[in-house]
Structure 1
Amino acid sequence: MVGTLCRACSEARNPTPDLSKDAAEAIMGRTADFHSTASDYRLHQKDRLNPGLQAANAATLVMKTQALKKLAKADTLTLEAVLFYFPKNGATAKKAQVLPFVRKFFGSDSAATLLSQTRTEMEKAWTASPASKLSGMNVLNFEDAIFGVQAKTIGDFKPTEHATGTAEAMFNSLKASSMLSEADIKARKINLRIYAYEAQMVLSDDDDDKDYIVSHRTSHRSSRSTTSAHETASRAKPSSKRKASNSISNTPEYKSSFHPRKFFTDTPPATELDYDFYSFTKTAFTMDSEGNIEEVLSIDSDKIEISRHWRKFIGDKAEDGYLGQGSMKFAFMGRIGDVKYAILQSKMETDTDEARNKADLIAELQLLTYGQYFVNSFAVRASTYNVAIPSFKWNSEGAFVGTVLRDEWFDAEEDTSCSLPFTTFLATPLLPSVSSGLYRERKFSGSLSAGHSVDEVGSMIDAYAYHTLVDSEGRFLMTDLQGIVGPDKSVILFDPQAHSHNKSTGFWDGGLDEIKAWQKSHKCNAVCRKLRLKGAVLENTGPLHHGFPSP
């Protein structure tokens, strides 16, 4: 055959390849791939458990999940609040056009804080709503707002009875009073209604000043069927000016007893505290019925305990004996026996020396005494004209200025751990804590401006400020009024300031110019008119002498 090679020639020209090396490499590659796949399989294969054990584990997991959910649900409460308001010309509450306030709370939360937060949030919602800006809509008074519990019927909610502890205790109290439906009990839910009142705007008898009179009702039930005398008076049309009468009136007249012989011249620690002991002498003040103030000096020394480490905790919160601070003073814990006091001293960084600290604290104690005198005369005025007012007072009862015996005091500049930076201190009774939720701190007016409150408590304090000016015949005015308001609307005022005819009550005193500025800012309210303060003639009879230290 032409062109065909024999086997020997063919193998010589095309030798057979050596496959032994290639086969070995191929086998090794396949082995490595197998090991990789096998390892991955072993790592990701499911545990081979007994089917019965697997079922038991699954059931245990479900039970634990349900228990956690139940525990979380048992520790929380849902509160839903709806806003209603009483219009100024009606006795039936209307539902406000705002969304309900819904929030979950822990059972350990304070019930009073819960209610206060709910009221605050509803007030914010109302203020931001279009309905509050409608023509003819006046201010809603949330200060005197009351609560109702909505179930099948509307129950009277009494904060002093149902909200004295935790949210859980409040829930149990409402449940025990049969004020919750079965569905609400099962869902651990409280449905509240908040009833606010629309402030009545009226014109005064003798000018065109606007004034707000707020009707007050003891509960939403009684308000639907009856109208209070106060509310009836607030709805009356303005009367025209009355002509002078020649007849003798049998209506009693209030007369000020303020005729002094001399006048002005120039919130408990959570843990037990460590105290320093000091011996001191006491200075206090008393006033007679005519407004004469007398200094009472104690000859015998007494013992007081002062929180030892309060200076280490000066900051934004009360801690370890430190209570707080103002622009000029620190407040810290002290006690005499079981009676606790807020101890006040000037700040050292204000370049205040011993003499200035003592003068300022003496002036403040005198001002507390004067403030309480005018509270008492204000009550007499209210009684004279048969006007009911909430209870209020200054934090003056038991207050005193103490002076430490020098041999028991260390120089605070040399010893920064000294618990008394100065030898003289002002001690005032420790006020109830606002952290409990039962008391609220409130500012009623500024040092240079009058208050313009629309609620019952605020209107009373605004009238009291004007009363101090009228009762002192224009020589004295209590300003910068602030205090704590209790659940029964009682007020305890603290940290007094004043302006006097001859600018002599303390460094804060702005004198006659500030009194005149305050008069321009003040607008007499319904309480002022009922107490016949409006239109009072103020006669500045000139400065009288008093023991206030010079500013």
Structure 2
Amino acid sequence: MLNKSSEIPAITESFPANDLVLDVLTQLTGQLNHAFVTGPYAAKLPEGSEANFSSEGIAFHSTCGKSKYILSAHELKPSTSLESFLSYLDLHGKIAKSNVEDRRITLQLVVPVKYVGNTPSLLGSASMPSNRRKRKTVVGHAVSRALPNPPPSQPQPRSRYQSRWSKNASATPLQVIEYETHSFKKTICRLSQDGNTTLEQLSELETIEIAKNWLSYSKQGFPGGGYLGKGYYKYAIRAKYEGNDVALLQYIPQGSTSETNHQNLLAELDVLTQASGFAASFKERTQMTLSTTLPNISYNSDGAFIGMTTSFIPAGPLPVNSSDVSDERSLLYNTFLVVPLLPTGGFCKERRFSGNSEIGQNDEDYAGMMIDAFAHHVVEDANGEYMLADIQGIVQFDKSIILFDPQAHTKAGMSGSWDRGSEEIDKFCKEHKCNVICKQLELRDLLQPFPHRPW
């Protein structure tokens, strides 16, 4: 067994999250091989033996707690990205939750050592812990180990072939989602340059496919079978529109009716459109004011619309009290809101920056300070008439943020059932603390009176 002095120094590299996992592992294996050959490590192998770094010989292991998993060729297929690979390991319990939260992967590279001219034997291994945080993959030290030379009087034991094939019993079977087609008419929301929104109902009859039987999955408490999740007030359901997967939103029946579902979703589309406009003006402001480019902030509003079915939908849920009774309806109400699907995966982290009545104080990192400055910009841009609340979103590996499901407080108090009026705007102006980005953008002191505008 080689001693501590045989450890290979750390190898550090950076990779974008969309790089293919096989390309990354091939590059890292090549670097480890080079370090092994050019360093003193190869000389410490038993005489007449060599390490086999070829793709046919090496194997990768992942660990979770005390369990170790051999990664098959299927799991390392050429089309898999680093982001998808991390999500796969997380889904199948082959990586520690702490590593997922830290955007970190640890793998062990096992390299066989064979005697030249004789039957190969797996005499040792080289371990390659590889760590990745956000856009970086960090490869730690590698250790090469080998058994000592067998005594000359004893021939090298001949290895017996053993099949390594095993059915992947832990693989999750693909879920077949059944869809129901509905005809509907679309309502869109237009935003003018001066910040006014207009709801417009289109006359064209369209169709959308909506997952069935998602209500039974919702009782499990996690996504599955077309059920994407739920918040305090709404269900999120998988649907297909114009060949694309989308998220369809409807209010939870407890506490809502067909009318309140209809009115609230129309109001949500209006606020989402307004919020998207403010995100665009914030980007314009940063580009005009700063010498550097900030990570992008946007809302998942592209192509968002309200749909109203042309056929009657029985409102509210059917009672489903036992596993042998299922509610296969795809819709609970005639009106629904469609938005783009949010990105998911190990490199995407969901985060809440503020509440309906809790202003954001996110000065612990750059993403939080950006959102606080964005919220400040909204109040200033609207001249104290409008503010965004309940700001939440997905922080991606490149630090860009996709926000979703916004609420608003307005001076008129008319943006929706969540709107608490000018009281919340005044509270924000008093409690908001400007950070370095606010100052760089030359945002105004919110404690000073807003200028009079003719509109």
TM-score with structure 1 length normalisation? 0.53
1:321 and 2:321 equivalent?
no
1:492 and 2:402 equivalent?
yes
1:335 and 2:250 equivalent?
no
Structure number with larger C-alpha Rg: 1
2:249 to 335, 344, 357: 344
Aligned partner of 1:76: which letter? H
What is the aligned partner in structure 1 of residue 184 from structure 2? 280
Q: Deviations over 1:340-375 (max 9, x none)?
A: 11111111111x222211110001011110001001
What is the aligned partner in structure 2 of residue 188 from structure 1? 127
Aligned partner of 1:423: which letter? N
What is the aligned partner in structure 2 of residue 111 from structure 1? 86
Q: CA RMSD in A?
A: 3.5
Tell me, in whole angstroms, the C-alpha distance in 2 between the residues paired with 1:446 and 1:291. 24
Q: Deviations over 1:432-461 (max 9, x none)?
A: 22xx31211111122212222222221111
1:447 to 329, 344, 356: 356
Q: Report how far residue 336 of structure 1 moved.
A: 1.5
What is the aligned partner in structure 2 of residue 438 from structure 1? 347
- 1:270 to 1:444, Cα distance in 2 relative to 1, 3 A: farther
> SS of 1:298's equivalent?
strand
Tell me, in whole angstroms, the C-alpha distance in 2 between the residues paired with 1:194 and 1:273. 34
Aligned partner of 1:391: which letter? N
> SS of 2:298's equivalent?
strand
Q: Report how far residue 106 of structure 1 moved.
A: 3.6
Tell me, in whole angstroms, the C-alpha distance in 1 between the residues paired with 2:315 and 2:301. 29
- 1:512 to 1:270, Cα distance in 2 relative to 1, 3 A: farther
Contact kept in structure 2, 1:78 and 1:190, CA below 8 Å: no
- 1:392 to 1:422, Cα distance in 2 relative to 1, 3 A: same
Ranges in structure 1 where 5+ consecutive residues have no aligned partner: 1-72, 80-101, 122-158, 173-184, 196-216, 221-268, 545-551
Q: Which of the two has greater helix per residue?
A: 1
Tell me, in whole angstroms, the C-alpha distance in 2 between the residues paired with 1:523 and 1:440. 25
- 1:191 to 1:307, Cα distance in 2 relative to 1, 3 A: closer
- 1:418 to 1:119, Cα distance in 2 relative to 1, 3 A: closer
Aligned partner of 2:308: which letter? T
Aligned partner of 1:117: which letter? S
Q: Report how far residue 306 of structure 1 moved.
A: 0.9
1:425 and 2:336 equivalent?
yes
Q: Report how far residue 505 of structure 1 moved.
A: 1.0
Tell me, in whole angstroms, the C-alpha distance in 2 between the residues paired with 1:428 and 1:193. 31
Aligned partner of 1:500: which letter? T
Contact kept in structure 1, 2:275 and 2:388, CA below 8 Å: yes
TM-score with structure 2 length normalisation? 0.63
What is the aligned partner in structure 2 of residue 76 from structure 1? 61
Contact kept in structure 2, 1:76 and 1:106, CA below 8 Å: yes
Tell me, in whole angstroms, the C-alpha distance in 1 between the residues paired with 2:338 and 2:294. 29
Tell me, in whole angstroms, the C-alpha distance in 2 between the residues paired with 1:396 and 1:520. 30
Tell me, in whole angstroms, the C-alpha distance in 1 between the residues paired with 2:368 and 2:137. 20
Identical-pair percentage? 32
Aligned partner of 1:455: which letter? D
Tell me, in whole angstroms, the C-alpha distance in 2 between the residues paired with 1:449 and 1:521. 10
Count of residue correspondences: 322
Contact kept in structure 2, 1:473 and 1:538, CA below 8 Å: no
- 1:417 to 1:219, Cα distance in 2 relative to 1, 3 A: closer
What is the aligned partner in structure 1 of residue 367 from structure 2? 457
Ranges in structure 2 where 5+ consecutive residues have no aligned partner: 1-57, 76-84, 111-123, 139-172, 320-326
Q: Deviations over 1:387-436 (max 9, x none)?
A: 521012100001100000035x3455679543211100001111122xx3
1:369 to 261, 266, 273: 273
- 1:469 to 1:274, Cα distance in 2 relative to 1, 3 A: same
> SS of 1:299's equivalent?
strand
Tell me, in whole angstroms, the C-alpha distance in 2 between the residues paired with 1:323 and 1:309. 12
Aligned partner of 2:339: which letter? T
